[in-house]
Amino acid sequence: MNQIPIYMKTSEEMLRPNDPEYYMMTANGLFLGRNHKFFSSDVPAKRAPRQLAGQKPFCEIRYPKLGVSALEFIVGFFDRVFHKHGSESIVLLFWNQNKQRYKLLVPEQEATVWESYSGTRSAMDVTYKLPIPMPRDHLLVADIHCHCDFGAYTSFTDERDEQYRDGVHAVIGQIDRDPPQFHLDIAVDGTRFRMDFNQLFKGYGRRRLDVPQKWMDQVKVKVSRPKTYSWSDSSNNGDWRN
């Protein structure tokens, strides 16, 4: 069976090939072209060329491993924030290209919590600001955030927020236990791959609670509470105003 040639369309001025049949890879997809005795055509291809082999999504991890004490301080920071605010929190991991080592950075962040009438708090989410300018000669390679006393997993919100930034996205959950629970993914060009703990971390002993105060100062908390009503807020027709 003759193989159908495959061409790349690299400019608008490129001439159509003269082959009886051919494939053309273009900016808007793969096309099947034909030069018939009675017509010429280029139409979107319904299937890939048969001579091509299949390919599965692939990612090989080569990150240097973060030291044990660094991870213990991260967990300690998450623990202190959770017990003080009942909220999520986040730490960014940079790679110093000159010194060939990691740098931990706690960004300015705002966590949202729901507080019930009784004062019990439930974590909702956390947002943060990237440092501007970014640390010179550093690469942002990972973000690590805490799911408080819930399990460590990638939520729909996490996937949506992280799909446009390549790198490691780690979640630490069940922070009320030691060791806590760890979940790691790496996102590459919109595709996520699951990672093992030891592909980024050297190990973990127990959390360090003597975390820098400047880390704690980076955390702001927004509290959402139930709306309260009183009889004086009601109108004569029985409707209630917030």
Residue at 139 is within a domain:
yes
pLDDT for position 230: 57
The CATH number linked to 219 is 3.40.140
Same domain, residue pair 22 and 89:
no
Question: Is the same domain home to 14 and 73?
Answer: no
Residue 55 lies in a domain: no
Residue 23 placed within a domain: yes
* Whether residue 77 sits in one domain with residue 28: no
Positions in the chain short of pLDDT 70: 1-2, 156-164, 228-242
Q: What is the pLDDT of residues 114-164, one digit of tens each?
A: 989 888 888 999 999 998 888 899 999 999 999 999 999 877 666 665 666
3-state SS record for the chain: CCCCCEEECCCCCCCCCCCCEEEEEECCEEEEEEECCCCEEEEECCCCCCCCCCCCCCCCCCCCCECHHHHHHHHHHHHHHHHHHCCCCEEEEEEECCCCEEEEECCCEEEEEEECCCCCEEEEEEEECCCCCCCCCEEEEEEEEECCCCCCCCCHHHHHHHCCCCEEEEEEECCCCCCCEEEEEEEECCEEEEECHHHCECCCCCCCCCCCHHHHCCEEEEEECCCCCCHHHECCCCCECC
Do 128 and 34 sit in the same domain of this protein? Answer: no
The answer to whether position 50 is within a domain reads: no
Structural domains of the chain, count? 2
Question: Which pLDDT value is given to residue 236?
Answer: 47
If asked whether residues 116 and 12 sit together in one domain, one would say no
Q: Which pLDDT does position 238 carry in this prediction?
A: 46
| pTM, rounded to two decimals | 0.81
- What would the pLDDT profile of 160-180 be if each residue is shown by its tens digit? 656 668 999 999 999 999 999
| Residue 180 belongs to domain spanning | 68-224
Both 183 and 93 in a single domain?
Answer: yes
